[in-house]
Amino acid sequence: MIILLHGQDSYRLKKKLKDILEQSKKESKGNLYLKRFSSKDFDFEEFKNEYQSTPLFLEKKFLILENLSATDALKEVISFLKKQSDFKNTIVFYEESVLEEGSLLLKFVKKNGISFKFELLEEGELIKWIKEEFKKYKVEIDSSIASTLVEFFGNDLWLLSNEIRKIVLLSLNKGRITPESITHLVRTKLETDIFQTIEAISSQNKDKALRFLYRHIEQGDSPFYLLSMLRLQITNLLIVKELVQKGFPLDVISSKRKLSVFVVRKYIRLSYRFSLESLKKIYWKIFQYEIKIKTGKVDPVLALELLTIEI
Domains delineated in the chain: 2-117 (3.40.50.300), 123-185 (1.10.8), 188-310 (1.20.272.10)
Q: How far apart are the first and last CA of the chain?
A: 44
- Global pTM reads 0.62
* pLDDT recorded at residue 183: 65
Residue 230 has pLDDT above 60, yes or no: yes
Residue 58's pLDDT band, with cuts at 50, 70 and 90, is low
DSSP state of 203: T
Burial of 204 (0-12, 13-18, 19+ CB in 10 A): exposed
* pLDDT recorded at residue 131: 92
Q: Which helix (H) or strand (E) holds 263?
A: helix 261-271
- β 32-38/114-117 pair status: unpaired
Residue 63's pLDDT band, with cuts at 50, 70 and 90, is very high
pLDDT digits (tens, 9 = 90+) for 137-186: 888 888 888 888 887 677 778 878 888 888 888 776 655 677 766 666 66
pLDDT digits (tens, 9 = 90+) for 24-49: 888 877 778 888 999 888 999 999 98
* pLDDT recorded at residue 190: 60
Looking at the DSSP assignment, which residues form a beta bridge with residue 3? 92, 114
Q: Which of 266, 79, 206 is nearest to 214 (CA)?
A: 206
Residue 202's pLDDT band, with cuts at 50, 70 and 90, is confident
